[in-house]
């Protein structure tokens, strides 16, 4: 009886481990997913002003060696963003068919020009708008902000 319980427990633990492995993005996708989160997701932020962009672009390490000209921060929780990956596939700017669109709250940060890294300066524009993100993996996760 004890041996049967041990086998059942081992089988149960193996099934849980297999499930965890199946729902995790691959190593390369995980790197791209983490980069997407760092560069584009700020669920607690409200954004909307130049100071926000100046701070976030520096804090998220997009001004170290040169000023990134344009970046968008999404102000939604990650599950809302990930749900965009379950919408119909559309064509990305690079021609691939792994993009998806959804409507989210964003702050667009545009470099003002003339500023030098690491003290880059940005203009902010807050809105609720349609975005297009590329998704990869099984399950699909966002890996690139297309537009």
Mean pLDDT of the chain: 86
Query: Catalytic one among 40, 65, 69, 100?
Result: 40
73-110: per-residue pLDDT in tens?
999 999 999 999 999 999 999 999 999 999 999 999 99
pLDDT band at 4 (very low <50, low <70, confident <90, very high): low
CATH 3.10.130.10 fits 27-145, yes or no: yes
Q: Which of 66, 96, 46, 65 is nearest to 56 (CA)?
A: 46
The tokens of 34 are what? 């983490």
The number of residues in the chain equals 147
Q: Would residue 40 show up in a list of annotated catalytic residues for this protein?
A: yes
pLDDT reading at 16 higher than 80: no
Report d(CA 40, CA 53) in Å as an integer.
12
pLDDT band at 145 (very low <50, low <70, confident <90, very high): very high
Q: Would residue 7 show up in a list of annotated catalytic residues for this protein?
A: no
pTM for the complete prediction? 0.78
State percent of the chain over pLDDT 90.
75
């Amino acid at each position: 009886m004890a041996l049967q319980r041990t086998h059942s427990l081992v089988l149960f633990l193996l099934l849980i481990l297999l499930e965890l492995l199946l729902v995790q993005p691959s190593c390369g996708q995980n790197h791209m997913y983490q980069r997407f989160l760092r560069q584009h997701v700020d669920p607690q932020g409200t954004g909307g002003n130049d100071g926000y962009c100046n701070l976030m672009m520096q804090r998220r390490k997009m001004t170290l060696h040169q000023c990134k000209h344009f970046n968008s921060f999404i102000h939604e929780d990650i599950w809302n963003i990930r749900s965009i990956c379950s919408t119909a596939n559309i064509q990305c700017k690079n021609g691939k068919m792994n993009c998806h669109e959804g409507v989210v709250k964003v702050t667009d940060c545009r470099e003002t020009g003339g500023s030098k890294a690491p003290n880059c300066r940005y203009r902010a524009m807050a809105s609720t708008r349609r975005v297009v993100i590329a998704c990869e993996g099984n399950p699909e996760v966002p890996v690139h902000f297309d537009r």
